[in-house]
Amino acid sequence: MTVNQMSSVADRRPGSTANAGRAGSADRTEPSMTTRRHRAFYMFTAPWIIGFALLTIAPMAYALWLSFTTYDGISPNWHYVGLGNYRELLNDSQTWDSLGRAGLFAVISVPLSIIAGLGLAVLINRPVKARGLFRTLLYLPAVVPPVGAGIAFKNLFDQNAGAANGVLTFFGFDAIGWLADPYARYVLIMTVLWAAGNVMIISLAGLQDVPRELHEAARIDGASAWRSFRSITVPLLSPVLLFQTVTGVIASVQTIMPMLLAPLATTGGLTTIPQSNYTYMIHVFSEYFALGRYGYASALLWVLFVLILIATGLIFKFTSGVVFYNVDPEAKK
Amino acid sequence: MRSQAGAPVSRRRFLALSAAGAAAGAASLGGCALPVSTGVSSSGETVTMMVKAEDLSPDLVKQAKKETGITIRRVDYDITKLIAMLTSGNPPDLVRAVGATDAAYFAARDVMEELDPYFAKSSVLKLDDLDPVNDLWRYDGRTQGKGPRYGMAKDFSQDSMYWYNTAALDKKGIDYPSETEPVTFEEWLENAQHLVQRSKGQTTVSGGSYNGLTKLTLMATMTASAGGSLFSDDFSRVDFTAPEARKALAWYIEYCKLKVGPSPLQPDPNGWDGPTYQAGRLAMSNTGYWMGGMIGADKKLAQVSRLAPAPVFAGGPRISACQGGTGMWMPRKAKNKDAAWRIFEWFFGEAPAKARASSGWGIPTLKSLRPLMPAQEDYQKRTLKAQQNELEHFSVVSLTPYITGDAFESLYNQVTPAAMTGGISVDTLAGRLNSIINEQLGRGKEQVG
């Protein structure tokens, strides 16, 4: 390094005499650290915020506008109907029936998948041989694309050629029309349980966060494995379980799996979805793309959005007393 | 006063900039969503066709370039995308559609280009050479089948006809149906009941399928076969309680109840009859001549397959309509109409049309191409004879412009399962169908104006 270069480096050091001589002009031209932090924050978050505005806020606002019209995408004479679509859906039995089915599906599938996922997580959290292999195998269904899962389940539960009925008839039982009413809803629930690996992975992460010494202390005090699980594991996992409940409810009322289980996973295939699987999102899809009622379907989606907000709020309200947040008290200071 | 460079980004300013960015992004996204070039490319003109992959292979695209000098850009057919493109004023130059169910619907919404002036000038597609099936693409503002032409079918079948497997009939000792004289719907159903084979709750061989191309075309053509019309004179209402429509409806509900073949209660997992019929698990298939393309490719199957006329109702007229007539139309706002018409002529009247005619996957829509229909093998001659006989009974059954096939099917299948399982009577069902379908028709009529 030459003497001139060393001098140049020294000039850039904070507090150097060379720097101090030009302090006045630097104040006017260079932003302060706080400003730079603000700018960095906004620049880093800008892509997300712009994306959120473009791909979430703008479509939602557009859908809100559509929900006040009779727009069908192509006809020339659509018009503004105010709250007409919302009034209509209040009296639309198909809307409430499909919402009821979606709610029932959530009430059954969310607890079952959480229990199954937690059970699997507890099993593979134990020091067993080939634990990694089991974890991979159990998680594998969760990475299968839903379309592939739909095709697999359709073939598995086909009345005339499916493996499920193959087993039944082998043991002398009559075949069952799994993909038709009233059995179709059970197949739908099975698709959720089949992909419980997602829940399992999150629960497993939670389980590995539970301090081992608490379990050891409980064991020394004579607590049984069940008591230890109930009084230590579950409370410490409660934030994870709350997260799974909230996201599970949201995902289950929005499921389009019934469509993927239909013989044709297209607009035309909607018509072969059994009534027991005709859930709210299927109704919305049908109104949008089969009936071309963009306005009415947008109203349905806005109602669902508000209902999900309410449901999430209620879940938080009713679980506030039983969810244990393991927050470091020092962190609050 | 702080310099501009040193000014902190306030939240308000940031949000304003974000909003501006979002607006600019939205504008550019509008362009991205519809990346359709309908302009003139440096190496010649470019025509955008919205079709399915099976309509236009990459080889055909190359062939088009070689034979017409025009570059084809294929966009996958997607009704939602089509509507977005039409709405934005940037539609494809040619669009696939089903003549029977889509032509009047789009024509009534004034998005189709009238093609009469193009036909009048064409030396490839001459009006007197057009098969009557192309009338499905005509609409005079009130009735399908009359008025200006808005498109053309690429090939067609009389979709109320059916194929039967002689081996399945032999096994049950059933006489073969005539290849020239129709059976009644009642006889067809009776045969299907004899042909169905079940074991331990599973259907090993279905007796027959009879679902039409769509429920809209099925109900409309069956009602016509019973001597009536499903629609009112102005096509703004249906009446399933009218004796002819009720007869058609009752027959179909009975077919579903008996579970002799695929239905909304027990849909075919393959989505269509072809694979099931080919596997010998379906004795009779309500599919027209076009399935001969698949059958002809399997010599063993071809030897045991026969094409039979469309069934009739006892005492009713003999009607054998085309329920599809899939083809193409040109949007009114297409940017490259002359080049699009040249491709239209090439696709419907030149090499691709000739190749389709000789493939057996449908009847050509130009009369002059009929000699190309496959007739070398005995089974081909037999099929062709049955088909030519049936053509004498061809007619266009007009459908309404106020509802799509998908909408009709969706509403129909919402309420019919209750009757198929015996939960409600056919009369109750007819009333419910009238109620929900007429509501949708009313909305459609209001929007068309």
Does B446 contact A at CB distance below 8 Å? yes
Domains and CATH numbers, chain B: 40-157+326-385 (3.40.190.10), 162-321+402-448 (3.40.190.10)
The tens digit of pLDDT for each residue in A296-326 reads 999 999 999 999 999 999 999 999 888 887 6
User: With a CB-CB cutoff of 8 Å, which residues 251-290 of chain A face chain B?
Assistant: 262-264, 267-272, 274-275, 286, 289-290
Global pTM? 0.82
Instruction: Please report the pLDDT score of residue A19 as a whole number.
Output: 47
Amino acid at B197: Q
| B124 and B352 Cβ atoms separated by less than 8 Å | no
A35 with B111: Cβ contact below 8 A: no
Q: What is the CA radius of gyration of chain B?
A: 25
CA Rg value for chain A: 28
Using an 8 Å CB-CB cutoff, list chain B residues near A78.
Answer: 447
Task: Say if CB B330 and CB B151 are below 8 A apart.
Answer: yes
Q: What is the 3-state secondary structure (H, E, C) of A244-301?
A: HHHHHHHHHHCCCHHHHHCCCCCCHHHHHCCHHHCCHHHHHHHHHHHCCCHHHHHHHH
Token match 């399962």: residue?
Answer: B417
Q: Which fold has domain A84-326?
A: MetI-like fold (1.10.3720)
User: In this predicted model, what pLDDT tens digit does every residue of B339-354 receive, in sequence order?
Assistant: 999 999 999 999 999 9
Question: Which chain A residues are Cβ-neighbours of B83 within 8 angstroms?
Answer: 73-74
DSSP 3-state of B424: coil
Identity of residue B224: A
In the chain, the amino acid numbered B212 is G
Confidence of residue A49 (pLDDT cuts 50, 70, 90): very high
Q: What are A220-249's pLDDT values in tens digits?
A: 999 999 999 999 999 999 999 999 999 999
Query: pLDDT class for A331, splitting at 50, 70, 90?
Result: low
Angle at B55 between CA B53 and CA B60, to 5 degrees: 90
**Phi, psi torsion values for B298, nearest 5 degrees:** -125, 95
Average pLDDT, chain A: 86
**Cα B441 from Cα B401, distance rounded (Å):** 9
Number of helical H runs and strand E runs in chain B: 17, 17
Q: How confident is the model at residue A119 (pLDDT cuts 50, 70, 90)?
A: very high
- Residue A54, pLDDT > 60, answer yes
Per-residue pLDDT tens, chain B, 449 aa: give them.
Answer: 333 444 444 555 544 554 454 444 444 443 333 333 333 343 479 999 999 999 999 999 999 999 999 999 999 998 889 998 998 889 999 999 999 999 999 999 999 999 999 999 999 999 999 999 999 999 999 899 999 999 999 999 999 999 999 999 999 999 999 999 999 999 999 999 999 999 888 889 999 999 999 999 999 999 999 999 999 999 999 999 999 999 999 999 999 999 999 988 888 878 889 999 999 999 999 999 999 999 999 999 999 999 999 999 999 999 999 999 999 999 999 999 999 999 999 999 999 999 999 998 999 999 999 999 999 999 999 999 999 999 999 988 989 999 999 899 989 988 998 999 999 999 999 999 999 999 999 999 998 87
Amino acid B121: pLDDT: 94
- Give the CA angle between residues B211, B213, B219 to the nearest 5°: 65
Beta bridge partners of B282: B206
Q: Say whether residue B445 is in contact with chain A using an 8 A CB cutoff.
A: no
Residue B130: C-alpha distances to residues A245, B139, B449 (Å): 63, 16, 32
* CA distance to partner chain A, nearest, from residue B288 (Å): 20
Beta bridge partners of B308: B162
Q: Most B CBs within 10 Å: which of A45, A80, A176, A291, as the mutation test of the B interface?
A: A291
A315 membership: H or E segment, kind and range: helix A294-319
Which is more confidently placed, B38 or A125? A125
CA distance B137 to B152: 6
Between these two residues, A257 and A153, which has the higher pLDDT value?
A153
Is a pLDDT exceeding 80 seen at residue A114?
yes
Closest chain B residue to A54, measured at CA: B22
Nearest to A77 among B214, B215, B447 (CB): B447
CA of B16 vs chain A CAs: smallest distance (Å): 11
| Mode of pairing for the β-strands spanning B44-51 and B94-98 | parallel
Please give the structure tokens belonging to residue B151: 């498109």
CB B346 within 8 A of CB B67: yes
- Bridge partners of B206? B282
- Determine, for residues A159 and B19 on separate chains, whether the beta-carbon distance falls below 8 Å: no
- Is residue A89 over pLDDT 90? yes
Span A267-285, average pLDDT: 82
Closest CA to A176 of A190, A149, A152, A157: A157
Residue ranges of A 211-250 with Cβ closer than 8 A to chain B: none
Could you say which residues from 366 to 405 on chain B have a Cβ atom under 8 Å away from some Cβ of chain A?
Answer: 404
Q: In the prediction, which pLDDT does A48 show? A: 95
Contacts for B87-92: CB closer than 8 Å, 24+ residues apart: B87/A73, B87/A74, B88/B30, B88/B34, B89/B333, B90/B34, B90/B36, B90/B38, B90/B333, B90/B335, B91/B36, B91/B331, B91/B333, B91/B334, B92/B36, B92/B38, B92/B48, B92/B49, B92/B50, B92/B331, B92/B334
Q: Which residues contact B126 (CB under 8 A, 6 or more apart)?
A: B119
Chain B residues closer than 8 Å to A174 by CB: 200-201
Inform me whether the pLDDT recorded for A167 exceeds 80. Answer: yes
Distance, CA of B351 to CA of B356 (rounded, Å): 9
Beta bridge partners of B112: B331
pLDDT tens, B248-302? 999 999 999 999 999 888 888 788 899 999 999 999 999 999 999 999 999 999 9
Minimum CA–CA partner of B112 in chain A: A74
Is-cis flag, bond preceding A182, omega within 30? yes
What was the pLDDT predicted at A30?
Answer: 77
Buried b (16+ CB within 10 A) or exposed e, A57-68: ebeeeebeebbb
Domain boundaries, chain A: 84-326
